[in-house]
């Protein structure tokens, strides 16, 4: 299990983590899930195997690089198993000496290509795909196309990409319909079905589907899916077996950072830990014209274990029923809720600073900000307190955020800037977005340090607030004020911690599901410009390097613990 294994003369053993090409390693530090992310990592390895230094490279090492690239491509395909484009890449032999694929895998990929038929440029789907139709229209169109060509994997893939973000399980059933799959793709159907069942919360059926595809599992691996299924069967049933599955996988794939993170938290019981912050916390929220959402947020807050915490709510000049909601909850919380009302909306950064300035708030060792449109689990404060106990050297602790209407849609996970773009003139701050294209199947349920966490539910240490400063009011009315403060924290030598075992549901939709007005888009664009110009490329490069160091130090420490 040691991460320091050396490649053997025949190139069959995996390349150990420190010897993976640096550009690929930098990407993998952010995680080893997601088709596009893994495809980019594979390309970086292929570049290293084809570069000018390869003439002096031992043949066994070059073969090892090619094997690694192939396994990264297989991982990319595993996260999008219906994608015939990925199948074509795996069969294309991009470089001389490309290792032969295991025969069952090669036969299945070739069969997959036989049933992958993308539409031509004049097809209505291409118009819809380029922005000519909304999600509802595209869903209707993909249903028609799937009904007309039920065995065409292109339409199955397109239908899946539209179905899971809105939990359209009827469409998923149409994708899986047994009569629409040729016999040569039965193993692929079972593998895809395992993902679909796990996404729907049926771990038992997902596990059965994986067991029905042994040929693929033997050569491609199914550790990510299998371990998640086992973990969902409960600690008494599946924890030990899930650990064994991940350990066996990591012996073959030491590059699989997401598996290292999941295994470490499983072995050390980090996923189950919960303890309130010592000394309690001041819970702060601000609101503007969201009476219904605020009422639901305060209900979830009141139903949670607050320990010694107290709540302060600032009404930013609301003109709806917000004052009545706050009055009602102030009575029900029996002195634990204090309210303030301003005559105008001063925006999120100023509201946060106003709340932070209250003398009674400053007496608490921790302050927690929560948005006015979130649903909090009962142990949310205990989960953040457990993150403090695990990583006391940090200054900010945050959580995993999902869409309230469909919790499969991830809105935010840990944020550490990606390596800067190679092309001249590229944006100097690249934030990872791999989570936006994947359903939440547990792959982001881990705890680790990072550069930034989302501000819709995060905990700050009171003693560190003055050193970093408050929230910059130039980012009013909202957007990126929390990220900008975390960048300042990083530039000052501090960092945040992501507590992925705390999941908070957010009522405001984000990403492809968001319905954003022109004003919202304009404000976000303007605040992005402010963010980039305030710090500049040199400072942002230091933040990126600092984040990379945090991720690698954390990974190597966890590898050492698991190898011990």
pLDDT tier for residue 1 given thresholds of 50, 70 and 90? very low
- Percent of residues, the chain, with pLDDT higher than 70: 94
Whole-Å CA distances, 122 to 113, 128, 129, 139, 425: 22, 11, 12, 19, 34
Q: Is the pLDDT of residue 515 over 70?
A: no
**What's the mean pLDDT in 337-342?**
96
Mean pLDDT of the chain, nearest integer? 92
Write down the pLDDT at residue 526.
Answer: 87
In tens, the pLDDT along 152-180 reads 999 999 999 999 999 999 999 999 998 99
Please report, for the chain, how many H helices and E strands are present, in that order: 23, 10
Write down the pLDDT at residue 524.
Answer: 82
Helix (H, G, I), strand (E, B) or coil at 501: strand
In tens, the pLDDT along 269-323 reads 999 999 999 999 999 999 999 999 999 999 999 999 999 899 999 999 999 999 9
Q: How far apart are CA 101 and CA 258, in angstroms?
A: 24
Per the structure block, which two tokens stand in for 110?
A: 């070739």
The region of weakest confidence among 14-23, 52-61, 267-276, 399-408 is: 52-61
Q: Could you give the domains of the chain?
A: 17-97 (no CATH), 124-267 (1.25.40), 281-554 (3.90.550.10)
The residue written with tokens 């002195």 in the block is 335
pLDDT tier for residue 520 given thresholds of 50, 70 and 90? confident
Q: How far apart are CA 52 and CA 226, in angstroms?
A: 40
């Amino acid at each position: 299990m040691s991460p320091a294994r050396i490649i053997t003369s025949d190139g069959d053993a995996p390349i150990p983590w420190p010897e993976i090409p640096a550009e690929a390693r930098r990407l993998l530090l952010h995680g080893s899930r997601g088709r596009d992310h893994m495809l980019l990592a594979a390309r970086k390895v292929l570049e290293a195997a084809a570069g000018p230094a390869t003439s002096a490279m031992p043949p066994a090492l070059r073969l090892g690089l090619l094997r690694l690239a192939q396994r990264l491509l297989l991982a990319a395909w595993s996260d999008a198993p219906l994608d015939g484009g990925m199948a074509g890449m795996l069969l294309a032999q991009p470089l001389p000496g490309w290792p032969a694929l295991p025969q069952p895998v090669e036969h299945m990929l070739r069969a997959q290509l036989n049933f992958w038929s993308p539409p031509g440029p004049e097809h209505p789907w291409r118009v819809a795909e380029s922005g000519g139709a909304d999600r509802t229209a595209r869903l209707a169109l993909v249903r028609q196309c799937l009904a007309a060509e039920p065995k065409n994997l292109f339409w199955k893939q397109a239908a899946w990409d539209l179905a899971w973000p809105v939990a359209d399980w009827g469409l998923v059933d149409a994708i899986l319909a047994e009569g629409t799959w040729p016999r040569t793709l039965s193993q692929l159907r079972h593998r895809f079905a395992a993902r679909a069942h796990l996404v729907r919360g049926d771990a038992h059926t997902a596990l059965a589907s994986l067991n029905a595809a042994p040929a693929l599992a033997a050569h491609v691996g199914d550790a990510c899916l299998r371990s998640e299924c086992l973990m969902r069967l409960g600690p008494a049933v599946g924890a030990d077996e899930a650990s064994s599955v991940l350990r066996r996988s990591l012996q073959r794939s030491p590059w699989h950072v997401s598996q290292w993170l999941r295994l470490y938290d499983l072995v050390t019981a980090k996923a189950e830990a919960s303890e309130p912050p010592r000394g309690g916390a001041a819970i702060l929220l601000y609101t503007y014209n969201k009476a219904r959402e605020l009422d639901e947020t305060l209900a979830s807050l009141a139903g949670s274990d607050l320990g010694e915490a107290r709540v302060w709510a600032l009404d930013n000049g609301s003109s709806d029923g917000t004052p009545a909601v706050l009055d009602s909850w102030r009575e029900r919380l029996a002195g634990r809720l204090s309210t303030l009302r301003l005559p105008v909306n001063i925006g999120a950064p100023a509201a946060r600073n106003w709340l932070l300035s209250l003398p009674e708030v400053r007496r608490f060792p921790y302050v927690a900000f929560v948005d006015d449109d979130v649903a909090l689990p009962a142990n949310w404060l205990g989960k953040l307190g457990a993150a403090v106990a695990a990583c006391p050297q940090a200054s900010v602790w945050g959580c995993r955020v999902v869409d309230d209407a469909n919790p499969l849609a991830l809105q935010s996970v840990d944020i550490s800037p990606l390596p800067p773009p190679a092309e001249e003139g590229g944006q100097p701050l690249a934030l990872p977005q791999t989570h936006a294209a994947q359903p939440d199947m547990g792959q982001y349920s881990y705890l680790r340090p990072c550069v930034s966490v989302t501000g819709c539910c995060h905990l700050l240490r009171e003693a560190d607030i003055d050193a970093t400063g408050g929230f910059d009011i130039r980012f009013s009315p909202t957007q990126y004020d929390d990220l900008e403060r975390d960048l300042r924290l990083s530039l000052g030598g501090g960092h945040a911690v992501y507590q992925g075992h705390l999941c908070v549901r957010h009522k405001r939709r984000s990403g492809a599901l968001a319905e954003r007005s022109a004003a919202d888009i304009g404000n976000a664009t303007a605040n992005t410009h402010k963010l980039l110009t305030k710090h500049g490329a040199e400072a942002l490069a230091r933040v990126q390097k600092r984040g990379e160091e945090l991720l690698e130090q954390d990974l190597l420490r966890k590898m050492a613990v698991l190898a011990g």
